[in-house]
């Protein structure tokens, strides 16, 4: 009998234009004042007149983006227990309690929260927490928008994009979660499809894919990431050849080589959604002959390396699964108790007894920012 979370359904979309809420002049004025107050102490300036009228320069609302994807993956009769919103770049309405709003939009009114300040590691951390939460269904939504309304010394994403993934425990009837009407992804070496510009694109996943391993490492130097990532892939695949590897663009730049596996690279300048976008393409492209898929990404600014393994539902010996006598032992011994990528805005904390246990090996203390 299968245990643990499976990826049951997924949807994604590329968004264009400004957030619909910014069509309201009162909200535009409030957003302009809020962002002006926040940026002033840092010597940043919101351009005069930027919020005078709706325009593409105003960017998106994560509440709107996620709310559009939720109905595509969560039927009304399948309530969700946990909703995690993951992002790196804030949206155009940063004063809004977006995760709380999405809880009311999502069937089941789930416990919900947002994860940020982890760059591309945020969605992996969200999935790690979902695995330890003990829920029947968890919705992970990763979002990014391509506009900052002030000059900043950071690159913004290339496009407004969102990916929603519904995870759940195994059921006696896998067909219950089949993606009727879902579309297949693109089996490209570089994944950069637009993903349904006219509406959410539902991705065909068949009976789903079981999450069998999730590793996160902190304080990984750029010079070390290629070797560590290659070691993780080698360890999780155990020499098997029928494995596909999906890499985020930052990790792909340091990848040592093919290594005998089919490698898909996520689109560049999409740090929050790129690897997940490409993962869905790979899972859908392999639907006729499902195989193990490993997805990995590296956050160079913070030194976080994240790796997740997914096995086709129903396979008897999933990748990353340990023998009965090994399951009581930790995957990797930790040097400290304050966890890998810290969900608490990058500050150092002792591991809270109420939170899921840490996963992965620490390569030193969390960065102080």
Q: Model confidence over 242-276: pLDDT tens digits? A: 899 999 999 999 987 656 678 999 999 999 999 99
The answer to whether 185 touches 280, Cβ cutoff 8 Å, is yes
Tokens for 13, please give them.
């979309």
* CA nearest to 72, candidates 110, 107, 100: 107
Distances (CA, A) of 151 to 43, 144, 154, 261: 10, 18, 9, 41
The helix/strand count (H/E) of the chain reads as 7, 11
What residue ranges define each of the domains in the chain, with the CATH number in brackets?
5-19+57-208 (3.40.47)
One digit per residue, the tens of pLDDT, for the chain of length 369 reads 345 899 999 999 999 989 999 999 999 999 999 999 999 999 999 999 999 999 988 999 999 999 999 999 999 999 999 999 999 999 999 989 999 999 999 999 999 999 999 999 999 999 999 999 989 999 999 999 999 999 888 889 999 999 999 999 865 454 455 554 455 444 333 444 555 457 999 999 988 999 999 999 999 999 999 999 999 999 998 867 789 999 999 999 998 765 667 899 999 999 999 999 999 999 999 988 899 999 999 999 999 999 999 999 866 443 444 334 433 333 332 222 233 333 333 332 233 333 333 333 333 333 333
101, 157 contact by CB (below 8 A): no
The reported pTM is 0.82
Distance between terminal CA atoms of the chain? 45
Residue 197 vs residues 57, 174, 200: alpha-carbon distances, Å: 18, 30, 8
Distance CA 83, CA 210 (A): 19
Q: What is the pLDDT of residue 255?
A: 87
């Amino acid at each position: 009998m299968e245990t643990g979370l499976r990826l049951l359904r997924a949807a994604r979309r590329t968004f264009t234009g400004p957030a619909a809420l910014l069509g309201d002049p009162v909200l535009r004025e409030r957003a302009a004042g809020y962002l002006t107050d926040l940026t002033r102490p840092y010597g940043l300036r919101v351009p005069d007149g930027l919020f005078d009228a709706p325009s593409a320069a105003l960017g998106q609302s994560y509440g709107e983006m996620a709310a559009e994807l939720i109905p595509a993956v969560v039927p009304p009769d399948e309530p969700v227990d946990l909703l995690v919103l993951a992002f790196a770049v804030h949206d155009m309405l940063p004063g809004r309690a977006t995760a709380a709003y999405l809880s009311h939009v999502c069937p089941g009114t789930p416990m919900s929260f947002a994860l940020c300040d982890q760059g591309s590691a945020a969605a992996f951390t969200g999935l790690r927490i979902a695995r330890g939460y003990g829920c029947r269904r968890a919705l992970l939504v990763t979002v990014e928008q391509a506009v900052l309304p002030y000059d900043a010394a950071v690159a913004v994403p290339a496009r407004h994009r969102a990916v929603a993934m519904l995870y759940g425990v195994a059921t006696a009837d896998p067909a219950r979660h089949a993606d009727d009407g879902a579309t297949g992804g693109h089996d490209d070496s570089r994944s950069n499809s637009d993903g349904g510009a006219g509406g959410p694109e539902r991705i065909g996943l068949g009976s789903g894919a079981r999450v069998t391993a999730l590793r996160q490492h902190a304080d990984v130097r750029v010079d070390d990431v290629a070797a560590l990532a290659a070691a993780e892939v080698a360890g999780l695949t155990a020499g098997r050849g029928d494995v596909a590897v999906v890499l985020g663009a930052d990790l792909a730049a340091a990848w040592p080589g093919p290594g005998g596996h089919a490698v898909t690279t996520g689109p560049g300048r999409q740090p929050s959604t790129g690897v997940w976008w490409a993962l869905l393409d790979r899972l859908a492209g392999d639907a006729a002959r499902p195989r193990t898929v490993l997805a990995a990404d590296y956050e160079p600014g913070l030194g976080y390396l994240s790796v997740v393994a997914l096995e086709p539902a129903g396979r008897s010996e999933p990748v990353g699964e340990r023998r009965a006598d090994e399951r009581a032992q930790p995957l990797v011994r930790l040097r400290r108790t304050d966890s890998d990528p810290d969900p608490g805005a990058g500050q150092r904390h002792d591991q809270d007894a109420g939170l899921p246990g840490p996963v992965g090996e620490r390569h030193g203390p969390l960065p102080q920012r």
